[in-house]
Amino acid sequence: MGKNNKKSSSEARLVPRQFDQERDTDLWSVFKIMGEFVDGYDKLFRIGPCVSIFGSARTDPGDKYYMQAVETAREMTKKGFGVITGGGPGIMEAANKGASEQKAKSVGLGIDLPFEQGVNEFVDPDYTIMFHYFFARKVMFVKYAQGFIVFPGGFGTLDEFFEAMTLIQTNKITRFPVVLIGTEYWKGLVDWIKNTMVSEGTISPEDTDLFHVTDDHLEAVDIICSFYQKHSVSPNF
């Protein structure tokens, strides 16, 4: 009877004892996290006005959105803005290329991934920062950006878009312009936001005004520039 009770107690334990043993070791990761924030803040503190440009790492150089991203970055830098990307290939490379061709600030916030090696060749070495943690990287995308321009992309791109929406909606940061480029690509998502989310009451109707959608990269540039004709430029939070 005693053996059976002892066995049942052991089988009922859902948390491995190894989890408890590794707790203290895991606490040391706090210092690694702090190091990433310090490095990011140190390198970007005086960078000045920038726009973060997002999009798929899988976009080929011959793709229309790649070419648009190059032109978007060129035009934004002509207006005095630097460009921040994730530093990878695809849309990120295109945006860094456009900024580099204008000899403007070209920032690459890289992430350690098994299938990506470093940052693209168009990132300024002085503004290259590598991250292990996605959440630390996302802080840098937002803190030093005066706007988001979002090209077609996957989960990572959506993550950045909805991060901005959440922070703006909850007043955790000062509102800044967010522009989606590619009406055909974003149509399903935008329709779902406007029809399903609003009708279900999970967001307010005015929340759909927090972002813009266009096919014209020059309009995207104009949306951001027009916003700052009425608002001051400053780091977020």
pLDDT at 122: 98
Strands (E), the chain: 50-54, 82-85, 106-111, 128-131, 148-150, 178-181, 212-214
Q: What is the DSSP string of 75-114?
A: HHHHTT-EEEE-S-STHHHHHHHHHHHTT--EEEEEE-BT
* Distance between CA atoms of residues 49 and 80, nearest Å: 7
pLDDT-based confidence at 13, cuts 50/70/90? low
DSSP state of 144: T
Q: What is the mean pLDDT of residues 19-33?
A: 75
Q: What is the mean pLDDT of residues 163-167?
A: 96
pLDDT-based confidence at 19, cuts 50/70/90? low
Please tell me which residue, 237 or 81, carries the higher pLDDT value.
Answer: 81
Taking all residues of the chain, what is their mean pLDDT, rounded to a whole number? Answer: 91
pLDDT-based confidence at 160, cuts 50/70/90? very high
Q: Is the pLDDT of residue 4 over 70?
A: no
* Distance between CA atoms of residues 72 and 59, nearest Å: 15
Domain boundaries, the chain: 50-227
61: number of CA atoms within 13 Å, CB side? 5
Q: Is the pLDDT of residue 2 over 60?
A: no
Q: Distance of alpha carbon 55 from its chain centroid, rounded?
A: 9
pLDDT at 109: 97
- In this structure, whether the domain defined by 50-227 belongs to CATH 3.40.50.300 is answered with no
pLDDT at 98: 98
Q: What is the mean pLDDT of residues 227-235?
A: 87
Please tell me which residue, 133 or 13, carries the higher pLDDT value.
Answer: 133
pLDDT-based confidence at 234, cuts 50/70/90? confident
Q: Is the pLDDT of residue 24 over 70?
A: no
* Distance between CA atoms of residues 203 and 197, nearest Å: 6
Tokens read off for 159: 């993550």
Share of the chain above pLDDT 90, in %: 79
Share of the chain above pLDDT 70, in %: 88
